Structure 1
Amino acid sequence: MDESTEPENLNPLERFGRDVRQVRLARKITQKRLGTAIGYSEGYVSKVESGTLLPRPSEKFAKGCDTVFGTGELFAGLLERIDEGDHPSWFFPYLKLERKATRILDYSASLVMGILQTDAYARAIFSSSHPRESPDLIDGRVAARLRRREVFDRERPPLLWVILHEACLRTVVGDSEVMAEQLTYLTRVMASPQVDLQVLPFSAGAPGAHTRPFTLLTFDGSSTVLYADGPQGGKLYDSAETLAVHLDSYDRLRANALSPAHSLALIKTVLKEY
């Protein structure tokens, strides 16, 4: 198909794939040769170019294209803008830091944190919070959320420590089937050496001064930032005083939560109810 007949109503992944194909052909490089050069199969390249690789091409692929094509950071930038388009603008600064963090400490008050959500659970949340959005936009949001799991594919993945309030287990998102799948996924995640998960039970009483969720990101053990939700979206904080308060709060939450083993037992008990 030549440019004069190529449809303009392409989604972001299709546009990315089209651009890869156009530059590849201009450089007279085959799909097989491109894939071999950057460590992917010919089939992978084909799916990228057709816009059918889900949730989206990897950062390694985009950077590899830039190296092989000599395009600077063109494709890495295009891929980043795909992510940016599927997230609210106030969240993207956090997302960029999450990808670099060596430790992620999260307190979730009523919903399972995004990086641990299943497709169906995330879809139910977005469908409920954005009831007037088209299915395509919902699909983009869900795919973007699931892509956050890619941090665990890094050569040195971060340590994730999550404290889930029991309300996260009992707030029915979607329906019983969605919740059963979500809790089953949590039990599998807990087997990973990179993940520590504790449940703060209702019996622990009021969860200290913080009823809103928050996340602490640490980088190489030398610096920490706080991400907390607000009425107009999330915000990053790095003041020493604010960090000290939330680090202390996290220690208290961790101390009052169930042990990982007892947390797993509680999750399995609630799972049977679903």
Structure 2
Amino acid sequence: MDETTPSAHLNPLQRFGRDVKQVRLARKLTQKNLGRAAGYSEAYVSRVEAGKLLPRPSDKFAKGCDIAFGTGELFSDMLRRIDEGDHPSWFVPYLNLERKASRVLDYSTNLVSGILQTEEYARAIFRSSHPGEEAEVIEGKVAARLRRREVFELDTPPLLWAILNEACLRTVVGGADVMAEQLEYLVTVAASPHVKLQVMPFSAGAPAAHAKPFTVLRFTDSATVLYTETRVGGRMHDSARTVASALDDYDLLRAHALSPDRSLTLIKTVAKEYRA
């Protein structure tokens, strides 16, 4: 990154890296000193300062900077704002709750749930839905979507139970190779003890045909929340009656979906069809 590059022309990660470097130099610390204090290598710090660490610096690194610099939560907050800036404003409340949930119950009708998407699958979706955006903007959205996976790296990650309508497997996003990679990734993540996958086959009929996509977030110390989306944005629902109805719907979907083992068999079969 050129030191003379105007701030307006820097992307969020480059601005973050520039600010880390400026404060580091003001504190008379070397990259090696900062890396040691934050628990990372000198090379890691160098990549952060160059704005080249993708998808972004870790929360641990930002916290380490704040401790080393004595800046409170400045860099941690900057990193959080980068995350939020690459998501629609109406999605940020859901994102914050997703990180705190003990269980995430998701039903997807046409596209694989964002938290389970591969990089190329997500990129194809954003290119299609934002045809006029610059490549840099698209890449920011892709990186933000991939960062949602970090929730599974928490000390106590949530249990994700995802039911995918068969249409999610059959709707071609980005081409056959992208779809094959996406379905193979689903098989991989399904091996995690924190992920359960089921497929709602077309043959299930009415239960799948009438259900709209939705997500239920359950917490250990607070009320359950329902999240739904429309063309104009997302909405959180915490009414006891509304949430109870959503849970009843989810139980019905789960009962009509293929078992986890049969679901994986179908996913593998469709992946092979794409590879062929």
TM category, shorter:
over 0.9
2:213 and 2:204 map into 1 onto residues whose CA distance is 17
Partner of 2:272: 272
The 8 Å contact of residues 103 and 160 in structure 1, kept in 2 or not, is answered as: yes
> 3-state SS of the aligned residue for 2:168?
helix
Deviation (angstroms), 1:196: 0.4
Mapping for residues 183-262 of structure 1, pairs under 5 Å: 183-207=183-207, 211-220=211-220, 222-262=222-262
2:58 is aligned with 1:53: no
Offset from partner CA, 1:188-241 (integer Å, 9 cap, x none)? 011111100000111111226853211111122642111101231111111101
Q: Which runs of 5+ in 2 are unaligned?
A: none
> 3-state SS of the aligned residue for 1:168?
helix
Percent same amino acid at aligned positions?
A: 71
2:218 and 2:260 map into 1 onto residues whose CA distance is 22
Which runs of 4 or more aligned residues in structure 1 lie more than 3 Å from their structure 2 counterparts after TM superposition?
Answer: none
Deviation (angstroms), 1:165: 0.5
2:157 and 2:86 map into 1 onto residues whose CA distance is 23
1:139 and 1:207 map into 2 onto residues whose CA distance is 36
1:93 and 1:59 map into 2 onto residues whose CA distance is 19
Write the letter of the residue equivalent to 2:100: K
The 8 Å contact of residues 101 and 158 in structure 1, kept in 2 or not, is answered as: yes
**Paired residues, number:** 273
Partner of 2:113: 113
Higher mean Cα deviation, 215-224 or 183-192? 215-224
Partner of 1:177: 177
The 8 Å contact of residues 212 and 229 in structure 1, kept in 2 or not, is answered as: no
1:138 and 1:47 map into 2 onto residues whose CA distance is 21
2:207 and 2:112 map into 1 onto residues whose CA distance is 16
From the superposition, tell whether residues 210 and 64 of structure 1 become closer, same or farther in structure 2 (CA, over 3 Å): farther
Offset from partner CA, 1:88-120 (integer Å, 9 cap, x none)? 110011111111111111000110000100011
Q: Which runs of 5+ in 1 are unaligned?
A: none
Deviation (angstroms), 1:54: 0.1
The 8 Å contact of residues 102 and 158 in structure 2, kept in 1 or not, is answered as: yes
1:172 and 1:206 map into 2 onto residues whose CA distance is 23
Partner of 2:34: 34
Structure 2 length-normalised TM: 0.95
1:51 and 1:12 map into 2 onto residues whose CA distance is 8
From the superposition, tell whether residues 126 and 2 of structure 1 become closer, same or farther in structure 2 (CA, over 3 Å): closer
1:119 and 1:135 map into 2 onto residues whose CA distance is 14
Partner of 1:151: 151
2:74 is aligned with 1:74: yes
Higher mean Cα deviation, 185-194 or 221-230? 221-230
Structure 1 length-normalised TM: 0.96
The 8 Å contact of residues 208 and 249 in structure 1, kept in 2 or not, is answered as: no
1:59 and 1:210 map into 2 onto residues whose CA distance is 41
1:18 and 1:72 map into 2 onto residues whose CA distance is 18
Partner of 2:6: 7
Write the letter of the residue equivalent to 2:168: C
